[in-house]
Amino acid sequence: KAGVTQTPRYLIKTRGQQVTLSCSPISGHRSVSWYQQTPGQGLQFLFEYFSETQRNKGNFPGRFSGRQFSNSRSEMNVSTLELGDSALYLCASSLIGGTMGSYNEQFFGPGTRLTVL
Amino acid sequence: AQKVTQAQTEISVVEKEDVTLDCVYETRDTTYYLFWYKQPPSGELVFLIRRNSFDEQNEISGRYSWNFQKSTSSFNFTITASQVVDSAVYFCALSEAEGYSTLTFGKGTMLLVSP
């Protein structure tokens, strides 16, 4: 069974540009969550999607947005990039979202490392 | 609000030493879940363990063991006879046990095991 895949793995952008990251969940998983990892703030929850609907959102500015498609694949977009957006962006998929149920573990992808110059 | 504190930023040990990674959490919930994840240099988070707040039994899995103490809000992780392959960043995380909750992570502890 293929794991969570994220593309691209590495990305370099300049300030003011926008970027789109992609996440393909494990087959059959309907929930996709996004996390930002930086040396200063650590791992922070961005948002979660289930059945094409954003169900949960972290404390990030509106420049961060996302969507989920009918095949459960998800994209996140960051507009007007700032230097502080440089981070590893991790995607996690699970069957139904949340953390209840031992069958409902979150599986993480390898991440996309975004560098903003 | 939930909070997870991993006070050890970096730990260096020599192979075969035992090492304990500390995790202290704060939550107002009476029911919650605690997790440990390992992040190797490749970047993806690897799930190690999940523990329900009602289950305070310690758990052992091979060289790994976990000590959950509700009285001190701690969920510590011990690696016995450490190996070079254990070198990674280890994260402790907390989530509510209701609804579609998300994970609140600690800042992580980098473990360096040298030969």
pLDDT tens readout for residues A70-85: 999 999 999 999 999 9
d(CA B76, CA B99): 26
Mean of the pLDDT values across residues A52-66? 94
In the structure encoding, which two tokens stand for residue B108, read together? 């992580």
Q: Yes or no: say if B95 and B3 are a contact pair by the CB < 8 Å rule.
A: no
CA distance B30 to chain A (A): 15
Per-chain mean pLDDT for chain A: 92
Residues A81-113 pLDDT 10s = 999 999 999 999 988 776 666 657 888 999 999
B43 pLDDT higher than 90: no
Identify the sign of the CA torsion B80, B85, B89, B90: negative
Interface of A with B in 49-78 (CB under 8 A): 50, 55-56, 58
Contact A97 B107 (CB under 8 A): no
Identify the sign of the CA torsion B23, B103, A74, A16: negative
d(CA A56, CA B11): 35
Give pLDDT, residue B6.
97
Give pLDDT, residue A60.
96
